[in-house]
Structures are given as C-alpha cells and as structure tokens.
Amino acid sequence: MRISGGWTRANPQKTFAVYSNKRFGVKRFEYDLFKEKPGQEIKSFLIRNSGNDFWWTHFRDAAIQLFFGGKVDIDYQAYQPAILYLNGNYWGIQNLRERSQEDFVLANYATEDVDVIGNWWGGVKTGDRVVWNQLMTELRKSSSQRNYKWINEQIDIDEFINYMILQIYVSNTDFPQNNVSMWRPRTPDGKWRFILKDTDFGLGIWDKNLPTHNALRYNTENNNDERKLFIALLEQDSLSRKFYSRFAIYMGDLLHYRSTSQIIDSIQKIIEPAMQDHLTRWMPEMWWRDMNSWRSEVTKMKNWCNLRNAEVYRHLRETFGLGAAMQLIYVHPITLTDGQAIFINGIRMRESGLNATYFQKETIDLHFEGNSQFNGWRISKSVNGNVTEQIYYQKDLSYKIEEGCSYVRIMLNEIPTGISNPNPMEIQLSVLDNQLHISDLLLPSVISVYDINGKLITKKSSTNNSIIIPVNRNGIFIVQIQNDLQKLTRKILL
C-alpha cells in the first residue's frame, strides 16, 4: 500500500492505494468489497480520506457519484464506508473506493487491453496515446473543418452526456481541467468512456459555488483542450437537444430533491453512529468541528440541491433559447410487469414517476418496451387554460409541446375496450352523390373543405369514427381532415 492523492495528502488522515500482488501470495482480492458490484476481479482499491471534503461531510464525492451510479449508463467508483485501524490504532472513518484507472476497467469490464488517459494533457496510465492524439487533433480543428461524424464514432456519446450532466448539475469546478479519467478498449471500434472521480468540489463545498452558479457556461466559456469535446457535442443540433432534453428529465427524477436527499440521508444514517469517534480522533486539527456542525454541513448539501434545479432549468433555457417553462408529469402504471419499460427522452422511468420542468415548443420522445398491442399513451394537457386529453395507440411517439401549455401529464394505459384496431390507420375518404363519406377516424376530428382558391366552404367536427358531409356545389375542392393521431389532405372533384 502507498499514500495516494494530490493536495489532500496534506490532510492528517491519508488516502491509501492498496494493491494485490502475486509476489505476496495474493494475485486478486477474493472479497466483494462493494455490495452494489459483487463478483468483481479486484487488483487494487482506495482507502480514501474523502479528499477535499475530509474536513466537511466525509462523503460528498460518494453521494454525488451515487446520484447516477448504478442507475444510468455511467462509469462510477463504488463506495463502502469503513473504519480503519493501522497496526491496531484507530484511524477513523474512511471510504473504500474503486480506483479510476485500468484496474477499474478490469473489475467492471473484465478486460485489461485498454488505453487509459488521465486529464486532457494526455497522461498515459496504461496503453498509449495514439488514438487519443488522433481525437485531439480533430478536436483542435476549427468547427468548419471538424469531422463530427468521426468524432462521434470515437466517443460513447450517451455515457459522455450522462457524465457531463452530473458534473454540471453538482457544479464541480475542479473539472474539466483536472480529475478526468478516460478509457477505451484497444479494438478498432473501441470508444472512449469517462470515469467519475474526485467530485468533491461539487454541491457548494466551502460555499465556493452557490446553487446559482452557471456550470454550463463554465464548461463552455473557453475553447481550450479540456472543453473542446463538450463544445463539439453542443455544436451538433441533434446532440445538443439530447443533452438538454435528457438533463430536464433527470432533474425531475434522479436529480430531483426527493432523490438526491434520499441518497444523502442514506449515507448519513450509516456513518453518523461512528462520526463522533472519528471527529475525536482527528482533534485538535478538527477543532472547529463537532456533531452539530457536521450535521449542519450535511444539511447544507441537501439545501443546495433543493435550490439547484430551478437555476439549471434557467441556464438551459438561456443557453439553448428554449421556450417558456411548463410542467411535465409522468405517472408510472401499476400494471407494468417484468420485461416492460417506459422511456422518456431515452431515460428509463422508475416507479417513483416524474415531475419535471420542460419547455414549450420542444418535443418529448416516448418509447415503450413491451406488448404495445394492448397499451397506448394517454396524454392530458392544459393549453391556455383549456384541459384536453388525447389517446395515442403507438409504441414510439414524438410529442411536441404546444405554445401556451402549462402542463402535460403522461400515462401508459390499456387501450379502451371497443377499439377494434388500435394502430393508427389512414382515413378513408370517398365521394358519392355530392357527399363526402369519411370513415376510420380514430379520435375526434375536424374536417375543413376549401374551394380551389382557398376559401373555406364548410367546417365540421366529428366525435364518431365516421361522418357524411354534403357539399351542395360542383367543382374542385381541398379536403383537410385532422385529429391528434391522423391527418389527411386531398383534392377532390364534385
């Protein structure tokens, strides 16, 4: 074992890196150190002093990583609090953590043939920097010269978006110029992924960054090497939309106060019974810290999260020119079974449901994995005070929020009985004896008839699946039929 860390080596309690080595008789640690990641092949791990947070809550980085860790596609360092004795001497509470280099990849992906780069200046931890140099060469080109398609093929885009969302949400300003660890399999199609590490500057440590801090601007304000990849992502419309639309959904779920506070509370509950002994051990260095002040620091983290979301929603609106804010509610169906899942903007919904802020004139992408033959989307909304409900019998749906909408409520329901064909079909239109015969209307519809000059001749509403409309004149006409699921425009001769 050896002392590990940078500036935090100055803390009275040290961080240790612990290694197995066949020279000492143990090639791997044959023990499940981390309950959420059983069965790992562990070559080394950290006994961490909580880094910059040593003097404060002693679990800030662990809580931040667990906001997403194990719930979304992101590489995170598992956490297990422990009490350490050195040669029989009590050494206080320390954090067992995974390391952020090739041993992490072995434990989580069962491969050692990788490139691992530390920070954007290209420090090689294992492998080489040949592919990394190619990426940086492309990123350093002007936006008009970059091959964005090639760049996207080098990065695990979904994981990188999740990684950046969390870094920006917690306002970690010891990043991106520091504490970056990226790795890729050494295969022709190997993509770079990013390992969360050392996020101790997040959640307003030392009152450094208030909940109002615009970390989105901080991560894009300079076009230096450490920011080039994120800036290149945001320069692509499809990926910038994926970023902000996913961010908005996360803040109604995993980054909602009910979720972040639950994570913080759960860790506090585990270590609080041992905290007084820990504080006593590190006196007099911790002369200003007692149990009340420690609890106050934990509460400050929770309060920071409680105030953060409204600010980030504002930053997203200002940065991307989004529409007015509105409420997006998702109600989880109690009938959902194993093998069925609901995704909003690519995020799998949990049983806790969703209560997010979203943006008018933006699109929500809905996806259901399961038996779509018997289920359909039920959407309620309020537009300028008028409440309506729509039923869509589709597996995948892109639903656009209207201007003036104050809320949208989404559910997945069984299709009402009496619907013989739940899948959208083409409206049937025929002409007989100067009458329009319209059928196969799935929802209440509006039928408009115009003459060839665009003048409205007649307009009818139908609440049934068919309607007959007389047109008491001859000529060429344009018929428009529309509901929330179907649309038809056709020229006819009477």
Amino acid at 135: L
Q: pLDDT per residue over 107-159, tens digit each?
A: 999 999 999 999 999 999 999 999 999 999 999 999 999 999 999 999 999 99
Amino acid at 206: W
Q: Per the domain annotation, does 343 fall within a domain?
A: yes
Domain that holds residue 395: 325-414
Q: Per the domain annotation, does 7 fall within a domain?
A: yes
Spatial separation of the C-alpha atoms in residues 492 and 494, rounded to whole Å: 7
- Domain edge (last residue) among 250, 282, 312: 250
Residues 6+ apart with CB under 8 A from 293: none
**Contact criterion met (CB below 8 Å) for 193 and 184:** yes
What is the enclosing helix (H) or strand (E) of 193?
strand 193-194
At residue 424 the predicted structure's pLDDT band, cuts being 50, 70 and 90, is low
pLDDT at 417: 54
Q: What's 383's domain CATH number?
A: 2.60.40
Burial classification of residue 418, based on how many CB atoms lie within 10 Å of its CB (0-12 exposed, 13-18 middle, 19 or more buried):
exposed
Q: Angle, to 10 degrees, between the axis of helix 60-68 and the axis of helix 257-281?
A: 150
Beta bridge partner(s), residue 95: 48, 81
- Does 437 lie in the same domain as 341? no
Q: pLDDT per residue over 31-78, tens digit each?
A: 999 999 999 999 999 999 999 999 999 999 999 999 999 999 999 999
- Domain edge (last residue) among 205, 232, 250: 250
The total number of structural domains in the chain stands at: 3
Q: pLDDT per residue over 358-375, tens digit each?
A: 999 999 999 998 865 567
pLDDT at 372: 58
Amino acid at 376: G
Q: Per the domain annotation, does 257 fall within a domain?
A: no
Spatial separation of the C-alpha atoms in residues 326 and 407, rounded to whole Å: 5
DSSP 363-379: EEEEEEES-GGGEEEEE
**Contact criterion met (CB below 8 Å) for 302 and 261:** yes
Average pLDDT over residues 101-108: 96
Place of tokens 């100067």: 434
Q: Is it the case that residue 420 has pLDDT exceeding 70?
A: no
Q: The pTM is what? A: 0.85
Average pLDDT over residues 274-300: 94
pLDDT at 115: 98
Q: Is it the case that residue 303 has pLDDT exceeding 50?
A: yes
What is the 3 state secondary structure string of 433-493? CCEEEEECCCCCEEEEEEECCCCEEEEEEECCCEEEEECCCCCEEEEEEECCCCEEEEEEE
- Does 410 lie in the same domain as 433? no
- Domain edge (last residue) among 250, 269, 285: 250
Average pLDDT over residues 219-236: 96
